[in-house]
Amino acid sequence: MRSRLVLLWCAAFLLAGPTTPEKRLHQHKVVSKESPAPEPGAENQFIPSLVAGLKTKEDWYDRERPKILERWRSILGKLEPAPEDRKWFGDPTKAVIRSKKEVAGYERMEIDLPLERDFLQQHLLLIPKTKGNGPFPAVICWTATTPDYTAPEEWWGKWLTEHGYVVLTGWSYIRHYRDGSSYKTDVAQKTYERFGHWLPIGRMVYDVRQEVRFLASLPQVDSKRIGFMGFSLSGKTAVYVAAFAPEISMTIAFDPQIAANGSSNWYAPWYMDWLRSFPDIPTKEKTVLSLLNTDPSRPGFEHDHHEVLALSAPKPFLLIGGSLDESSTNGSDDLESWGYINRAREVYELLGVVNRIQYVPTGDGHHPNGPHIDPAWQAFVLHWLR
């Protein structure tokens, strides 16, 4: 019955003729030359709806959401450490303070957080000094692939502290892990050796949750108002943080390339590891790709990041894209990203909070700042994380 409704809806949509980019519902063209699933013609396929046949909020929460959540748990391997993994984790509130100084309007502290018992991760903690004593809302700000963990201080941190936000800057463990490992070497293998099937993109989410625990322990922080912002690599993290970190109340993803199979490298071993065989995956092929692309005879994926975005509802989520092209080849979110936002927005609309998911495509390029990027994220933070 549901598949028939989807087909009827799509037929009506096609008969209606051309539409504006803001209304599109199609998948992204696969332009990544390294993609293990080229999928020619994917851009002509509709992204499957998640609300066909649903009438109420209860239908979503009781019928559809649990199925989607279980599918993505199977993809990620786990959403948090298994009981046997807990021995590797301590207390993230036991920060090691390396330096402390006051700069213009805020206190700047270099700290290390114990994200594993034998792994300290570098961070900056920025606390406003001219806005009273708090408690303040806080934002975790991660860097991208190239700069180190201090870069978000310049991108966003100074503005945030000026407006009364505590800021914790950091970076993904795939940039800086145990024994000098990184995405360039063996970070994925080290993850599996210690924790089994736990995709790196999923492990990143848990690190953010540990950072939330640290922030919530500070008297200057309002633990109910903690957001996350990430650019490029960490924009990808933001997509999953929105869905799987319940402690985070607002998320902004800068240019992650939201399509799983478009112009970016979600398939890489240090993100989703599409082609590795995991014994616990419930398909014959045992790969993440087999869970995303359940019908290889049809162009395009049946399961994609519109589902992850839908899992974030009803929390506020902002996607900022760097391209106004129809199909970007540089890894930026472009006009074809509208399809994934629009499918997730249908869930937000069903829940009565459609204004909480937003997409701002810009022509500012693949950058964390720009003349159109900055007003977008600043307004979103001020509105949803006062």
Q: What is the pLDDT of residues 54-78, one digit of tens each?
A: 999 999 999 999 999 999 999 999 9
pLDDT value at residue 133: 86
pLDDT of residue 2: 41
pLDDT tens digits for 135-194?
A: 999 999 999 999 999 999 999 999 999 999 999 999 999 999 999 999 999 999 999 999
Q: Rounded distance, CA 352 to CA 314, Å?
A: 9
Check residue 386 and give its pLDDT: 86
Q: What strands, in cross-sheet order, belong to the sheet with 357-361?
A: 96-103, 106-116, 119-128, 166-170, 136-142, 221-231, 250-254, 317-321, 357-361
- Say what the pLDDT of residue 331 is: 86
Q: Give the tens place of pLDDT for each residue, 298-310.
A: 999 999 999 999 9
Mean per-residue pLDDT of the chain: 94
Q: How far apart are CA 238 and CA 232, in angstroms?
A: 9
C-alpha–C-alpha distance, residues 362 and 364, integer Å: 5
Is the whole model's pTM more than 0.85, yes or no?
Answer: yes
pLDDT of residue 20: 87
Q: Which residues contact 141 (CB under 8 A, 6 or more apart)?
A: 152, 155, 156, 157, 160, 167, 168, 169, 170, 228, 229, 230
C-alpha span between 319 and 257 (Å, rounded): 9
Q: What is the pLDDT of residue 74?
A: 97
Confidence (pLDDT) at 131: 85
- The whole-number pLDDT of residue 5 equals 40
Q: Which of the two residues, 9 and 265, has the higher pLDDT score?
A: 265
Give me the mean pLDDT over the 42-46 stretch: 96
CA gap 67, 31 in Å, rounded: 30
Strand 96-103 versus strand 106-116 pairing type = antiparallel
Domains defined along the chain, listed by start: 22-384 (3.40.50.1820)
> Is the predicted pLDDT of residue 18 greater than 80, yes or no?
no
Tell me the backbone φ, ψ of residue 231, rounded to 5 degrees. -115, 135
